[in-house]
Structure 1
Amino acid sequence: MVGYCKKLRELQIQEWKGYYINYKLMKKKVKRYVEQMEVGAQNRHNVLRDFSMLLDNQIEKIVLFLLEQQGVLAHRLSNIGQDHHTLFQQSNSINISELQEAYRDVGRDLLRLLNFVEMNAIGLRKILKKFDKRFGYKFTDYYVKTRANHPYSQLRQVFRHVGIGAVVGVLSHGLADLQDLQQSLGSYISIYDQPSYTHQDPILDSIKEAVARLSNSTNFLQFLGRHAFIMKEELPFPSEDHIVDERYHFMSLLLNLANTFLYMVNTYIIVPTADNYTLSLGAAASVCGVVIGMMAVAQVFSSVYFSAWSNRSYLRPLIFSSIVLVVGNTLYALAFDMNSIVVLLMGRLFCGLGSARAVNRRYISDCVPLKLRMQASAGFVSASALGMACGPALACLLQTNFRIYRFTMNQDTLPGWIMALAWLVYLLWLWICFKEPAHENQGNLVLYHADTEPVVQVAVGNERTQPLLMNSEEKELDEDGEEENDNTEETKKPVTSIVVAYKLLTPSVKVQLFVYFMLKYAMEIILAESSLITEYYFIWTTSNVSIFLACLGLTVLPVNIVVGNYISNMFEERQVLLTSEIMVCIGLLLSFHIMIPYSVTQYVGSALITFVSAEVLEGVNLSLLSKMMSSRLSRGTFNGGLLSTEAGTLARVIADGTITISGYFSESKLLNTTLLPALLICISSIIATCYSYNSLY
C-alpha cells in the first residue's frame, strides 16, 4: 500500500519544492539529539542553541521566498492596474472580461502562496510539538519566547502572513470596480463603503477562507462548534468526502441533535427540586449532590461503551440509550411513592448509563459532509445549551400536586414522568425515521479529528494541486517512536487502551485537560448547589431557582457569538485562555460569604461571572486541545474526545460528592467549603497554564 504522506508528497507544487520546510531533516536531528544526550555527548543548552539556529535558517528560507513571491504578485497587479486605469475611457466589455480573468489568475496564485505558507506553518508546529514530546516544555518555551515577540520576528511573519492583506485589498477593489463598470451601474461604490463587494467573486471567497484559516480567525459557528470537540476533517480526499455524502441523512442528524437536547433537559430538569425530593424521602438536603452526581458517575462508564459500540452501529446504541432512559426516569418518579432513596439513586444511575453523547458526536464526525460538519457541530452545542436552559424552565412549570391511581404527580416526580414519556416518544420516532449508515470499514472511522492540520486544494485551471510538506512524515511510525516506515497503517491504528492514550499526552495537553477539569468542576459547583444555597440564604422557591438556572443556560449562545466573532479574532487563544481562567478565579472569590451579609446581587453576579467565563474558557480550551493532541487520538474508542469527556465527567462527580460531604458537616458553611476546593483547583490551573504558556503556540 502506498503511504498516506507519500501520496500527498506527489501532489506538492514541484517548482517550489526547495522552499518547503525540511521536516525530515529536523526530525532526524531531534532523534540524534536524544541519542547524544543519552550518552552524555550533548547538553541541553547546546541542543537548544543548535536546533534554534537550524530552525531559524528554515524559517528565513520560507520568509524570503514568501516576500519574493509577494513582490511578483504586486508587480503583476501593478501592470493590470495600468490597463484597468485606461479601461474607463474605452468601456470595452471584452477588455473588462480579460481584466477580470487577469485578476483571478493573480488570486489563484495567491491561493497557492497562502497554502505554501500554511503547510510550512504546519511543519513548524509539528516539529515544535515533536521536540517537546522528547524534551518537555523547554524548546518551545524558549524558542517562542525569544522569537515570537521580537520586533524582527520571522516566526511571526510565517504565522501572521505579513503583506498578504494588501494584495487581497487590491484584488478585491479591482474586481468590485470591474463588476460595477460591467453592470453599467455608474455609482463606482468603493469596497470600503460596501464591504459585501469583497464576497461577490468566488476566488475572493476562497482567499478569505485561506487567510482566516492561516490566521486562526473564527466566527460564531466555528467557535461554538469547538465546544463539541468535533473538528472537521482538514485533509480529505474527494473520494472520501463522496462516501460521507452517501452516508448523510438529514433526519438521522436531527434525531441525534434531539437526543442531545433531551439528555441535557434530563440532566438539569431535576436540579431545582432535587433537595426537596431527598428531604421528602428522609435524607439530608445535601444528598441532592449525590442524586445529581449519580448521572455523571454512570456516564464515566457509558461514554466508553457507547464510544466502542458506535464503531459498529449508530441506531442500536441510540435505541438502547432511549430504553435505559425510559427505565431510569420511571424509577426516579416511582421513588416518591415507594419512599426509597435507593430507587431514586438507581433511577439517576440508569439515566447516566443511557448517555449517548459519544454516539451523537460520532455520527456528526463520521456521517456529516465537510461542508455541513461545522454547522452540525454548532447545532450539537446549541442543542445542549438549549436543553440546559429548558430543563430548569420546564421544572418551573411543574408546580402542581395530584394523583393518578396510586402515582403521585408533583414537582418532585413530574420531571421523571415527563422525561420518561419524552424518551418513549423519541424511541418511536427513532425506530421509524433513523437510517443506519453503512460502515464500510470500522477501523477507518474517525471520531474527534484532533491534531489534523489544514490542507486546502487549490483549483488551477482544470487541475488541482496541493502544496505539501517537503519530505514530510511519510516514514514516521507514531508520536512515540522514530522508526522509519513508509507504510502508514501503524500510524492510523487507533489507540487500544486508556493507558496507551495517556502515554500519548504531552505535558501541555495534560495541562489543558486539567483546565477542562477545572472549568467543569466550577460550573458543577455553581449549578448543583444552587437550590441549597438560595434556599438557605434567600429562601428562594423552586420557581426562583428554575428561572435563575434557565437564565444562566440562556447566556451560552450570546456569549459565544461575542467571543466567536470578536474576542477570538482580537487576541491569541492562549491569551483568552489565561484571561478566562483568571475571570473564573475572580468569580469564585466573589462568591465566598465572609463577614458581611450575603446578598442576592453578590450571589447572582459572582455566579454569572464564573459561569460565563467558564463557557468562554471551554471554547478556547478545546480548540487548543484539538491542535495539540496526537493524531492517533483522533480515532477509535479511546480518542481525545473521550479523554476530555472523562475529565469533565470526573470533575462533575467530584464536585457533586463535595457538595454532599460538605452539607453533612454544616449547611451554614456549605458555600465556603465547596468553593474552597474549586478556588484551589482554579489557582493551580492558572499556575500550570503560565508554566506551559509558550508551548500553547
Structure 2
Amino acid sequence: MVAFGKKMKERQIQGWQRYYINYKLMKKKVKQYVQQIEVGTLDRRHVLKDFSRMLDNQIEKTVLFLLEQQGLLASRLARLREKHDALQDQPDISNVTELREAYRAAGQDLLKLLSFVEINAIGLRKILKKFDKRFGYRFTDYYVKTRANHPYSQLQQVFKHVLYHPTLDVQGLGAVVGAISRNLHELQDRQGSYLSIYDQPVLPLQDPVVDSIKAAVDRLTNSTNFLNFLGQHALIMQDELPTPTDELVDDQRYHFMSLLLNLANTFLYMVNTYIIVPTADDYSMSLGAAATVCGIVIGAMAVAQVFSSVYFSAWSNKSYFRPLVFSSVVLFIGNAMYALAYDFKSIAILLLGRIFCGLGSARAVNRRYISDCVPLKIRMQASAGFVSASALGMACGPALAGLLQTNFKIYKLTFNADTLPGWVMAVAWLIYLIWLCISFKEPSRDTEENHRPHESNAGMLTLFNGHFLAWYFANLPLSGQ
C-alpha cells in the first residue's frame, strides 16, 4: 500500500508545495523523539512542548497562505462583479461568455484551494494520530482543546472540527463559493440576468465547475450527512487520501458475506446484552438473591467487555475469523450457563454466565474489519450499518424477552420467562457459529497492518488513564523551556 506521505506529495498543487504541512518532516521528528527518549537525551515533557511548537508553526504557515489566497480570490471576484454590473446596462453576448469563463476560471482556482485545505487537514490529523500511537498520550485532545478555544488560535481558522470528524470548517470560503455560484447562475443563458440562486428558479444551474465545487464542499462539510454521523459514532474514520491502487487492494480484501457476518455479530451481541433486562430481577430473586443483585447481573457483561476489548483488539491484528469463532463459542457457553443457573439454583453460575457473555464481545473486531477491509467507497455505509445493527439489537432484546412468556420442562431442564432468554441466545450463537464457519473469508493482510498493536495498546492506555492525562496536559506549560 502506498505510504500516506507519498500520496500527500502526489496530491500537492504545483507551486504551493512549501505551504503544505510538512508531514514527512513531522513524521521524522516523531521517530527522533522516540529514539532520544530511549537513550535518555530527552524527557517526555520536552517532547510535548517541542512538538506542539512545531505544529503551531506548520499550521500558521498553512493558514496564512490560505488567507492570502482567499483575499486574492475575493479581490478577483470583486473586479468581476464590477464587469457584471456593467453588463446589466449594456448586455453583450460576447462579453457575457467572456465573463462566464472568467468566473469558471475563478471556480477552478477555488477547487485548488479546497483541495489544499483537505490535504492539510488530513495530514494534520494523521500526524497527531501517529504521535498518540507512538507515545500512548491523548495529545490530540489536549492540542485541539488548548488551540481551538484560544482567541488568537490559527487552528480554529481551518482545522477546528477536522481533528475529531472527517469534516472541514470552510465558513471562511463560503462567501467565495456563494459568489461564484450565484454569478454563474445569473449568467446562465436560459435564465437571463434577473433570477438569483435565492429565488428557487425552475431550471437548476448547469455548470460543471459549480458541480465540482459543490462536491468538494460536500466532502469537506459532510458532518450534516446522516451516514457520516453514524460512522463517527462508530469510531470508524475515513482519513486517507484514496488512490486507484488503494481501491484495488480494498476490493481484493472485501467480502460481502464476511461484512454481513460482522454486522450480524454486532446485532446478536446487543440483543444478548438487553434481552435479560425485563426478567433479571425476577430471575435473581427466584435464586434467593436480593432484588439489588439485578443491577450486578446486568452490569457484569459490560464490565467484562472492557477486558475483552483488550485481547480482541490485539487478536484482530493477526486474524478476524478466529476471534469471531472464539467469541461465538464463549457466548454460547455463557448463555447456556445463564439458563442452567435456574435448575442448579445458583446465583454464582448466573453471574459467571453473564461474565462469559461480556468476555465474548467482539465489537472491537467488528469495527476493525469495517475500517480495514471495506472499500472506501462504501465504508461509511458499512459504518452506518454497524451503528444501525447495534441500535436495532438494543431495541429487539427487550421486545424478544416479552414474547418468551411460557413455562415447560424437557427432562430436567426448565424453560420459562427467566431461562428462555439464555436458551434462545445460546441457540442463536450456535447457528451463527455454523454460518461463520461456512461463509466467512479471512482477508489477506499487508505489512502495514503488522504495526497496529501499538494503536490498540495506546487506545487502552487512554481508556484507563484518560482523566489523569487530561489533568496533566491541562497543567502543562508550553511557552518556554
TM-score range, shorter chain: 0.7 to 0.9
- Mapped to 2, the partners of 1:142 and 1:438 lie a distance apart of 36
- Give secondary structure in 1 for the equivalent of 2:444: coil
Match of 1:444 in 2: 448
1:224-265 Cα offsets, whole Å, 9 max, x none, are 322222212423333112211233233332222121111111
Do 1:173 and 1:198's aligned partners in 2 also have CA atoms closer than 8 Å? no
Q: 1:300 to 1:235 in 2, by over 3 A?
A: same
Query: C-alpha separation between the residues in 2 aligned to 1:249 and 1:16?
Result: 40
Q: Distance in 2 between matches of 1:55 and 1:244?
A: 32
Q: Deviations over 1:310-350 (max 9, x none)?
A: 33443343334333323332232222123233432343233
1:190-589 matches, cutoff 5 A: 190-191=197-198, 193=200, 201-209=210-218, 211-212=220-221, 217-432=223-438, 434-441=439-446, 443-445=447-449, 493-495=451-453
Counterpart CA distance in 2 for 1:281 and 1:386 is: 31
Residue aligned with 1:264, SS: helix
Question: Structure 1 residues 647, 193: closer, same or farther in 2, change over 3 A?
Answer: farther
Assess if the C-alpha contact under 8 Å between 1:321 and 1:354 holds in 2. yes
With over 3 angstroms needed to count, the CA separation of the structure-2 counterparts of 1:211 and 1:309, relative to structure 1, is closer
Extract unaligned runs of 5+ from structure 1. Answer: 446-491, 496-500, 502-632, 649-680
Task: Quote how far apart the aligned CAs of 1:267 are.
Answer: 0.9
**Is the 8 Å Cα contact of residues 312 and 439 (structure 1) preserved in structure 2?**
no
Q: Which has the higher contact order (CA 8 A, sep 6+)?
A: 1
Unaligned runs of 5+ in 2: 160-168
Which of 180, 188, 200 pairs up with 1:171? 180
- CA–CA separation in structure 2 for the residues paired with 1:278 and 1:324: 22
Give the letter aligned to residue 247 of structure 2: D
Tell me the CA shift for residue 102 of structure 1. 5.1
Equivalent-residue separation in structure 2 for 1:686 and 1:440 (angstroms): 34
Query: In the alignment, which residue of structure 2 is the partner of 1:18?
Result: 18
Deviations 1:69-111 (A, max 9, x none): 224323544565546974999796x998886665444333213
**Contact 1:20 / 1:120 at 8 angstroms: preserved in 2?**
yes
Q: State the partner residue of 2:165.
A: none
Name the CA shift for 1:60/1:389 in 2 (closer, same or farther; >3 Å): closer
CA contact (8 A) 2:309 2:362 kept: yes
Conserved in 2, the CA contact under 8 Å of 1:145 and 1:694?
Answer: no
Kept in 2, the 8 Å contact 1:301–1:353? The answer is yes
Indicate conservation of the 8 Å contact 1:137/1:692, yes or no: no
- CA distance in structure 1 between the partners assigned to 2:448 and 2:26 by the alignment: 30
Task: Indicate if the aligned counterparts of 1:144 and 1:694 stay in contact, CA closer than 8 A.
Answer: no
Quickly say closer, same or farther: Cα 1:358–1:410, change in 2 above 3 A. same
Q: Aligned pair in 2 of structure 1 residues 689, 109: CA closer, same or farther (>3 Å)?
A: farther
Under a length normalisation based on structure 1, what TM-score does the superposition of the two structures give? 0.53
- For 1:349, the aligned partner's letter is I
- Corresponding residue number in structure 2 for 1:115: 115
- Whole-Å separation in 2 of the counterparts to 1:59 and 1:26: 15
Which residue number in structure 2 is paired with residue 70 of structure 1? 70
Query: In structure 2, what is the Cα distance between the partners aligned to 1:639 and 1:255?
Result: 28
SS of alignment partner, residue 271 of structure 1: coil
Cα distance in structure 1, aligned partners of 2:138 and 2:402: 50
Q: 2: distance between equivalents of 1:195 and 1:686?
A: 57
CA offsets per residue over residues 196-248 of structure 1, 9 Å max, x none?
A: 968985312333135427xxx44433233222222124233331122112332
Report the TM-score when normalising by structure 2.
0.73
Q: Cα RMSD between the aligned structures?
A: 5.0
The sequence identity of aligned pairs, in percent, is 55
Q: For residues 142 and 279 of structure 1, do their structure 2 counterparts lie closer, same or farther at Cα, with a shift above 3 Å needed?
A: closer
- CA shift digits 1:340-376 (9 cap, x unpaired): 3343234323323332212211211112121222222
CA offsets, 1:454-501, max 9 Å, x none? xxxxxxxxxxxxxxxxxxxxxxxxxxxxxxxxxxxxxx8334xxxxx5
Structure 1 Cα separation of the partners of residues 477 and 170 of structure 2: 20
For the residues of structure 1 that align with 2:150 and 2:202, how far apart are their CA atoms?
32
Distance in 2, Cα, partners of 1:155 & 1:639: 25
Cα distance in 1, alignment partners of residues 84 and 254 from structure 2: 48
In the alignment, the residues of structure 1 paired with residue 440 and residue 96 of structure 2 have an alpha-carbon distance, to the nearest angstrom, of 51
Structure 2 distance, partners of 1:18, 1:403, is 77
User: For 1:493-516, what per-residue CA distance to the aligned partner results, in whole angstroms no more than 9, with x for missing partners?
Assistant: 334xxxxx5xxxxxxxxxxxxxxx
Contact 1:272 1:395 in 2 (8 A): yes
Distance in 1 (alpha carbons) for counterparts of 2:283 and 2:394: 20
Cα 1:246–1:173 change in 2 (3 A) is farther
Secondary structure class of the residue paired with 1:285: coil
**Contact 2:326/2:360 (<8 A) preserved:** yes
Shift of 1:168: 0.4
The answer to whether the Cα contact below 8 Å between 1:325 and 1:350 also exists between their aligned partners in 2 is yes
Q: Distance between the aligned counterparts of 1:129 and 1:440, measured in 2?
A: 20
- Secondary structure at the aligned position of 2:292 is classed as helix
Q: In structure 2, the residue corresponding to 1:408 is in which secondary structure?
A: strand
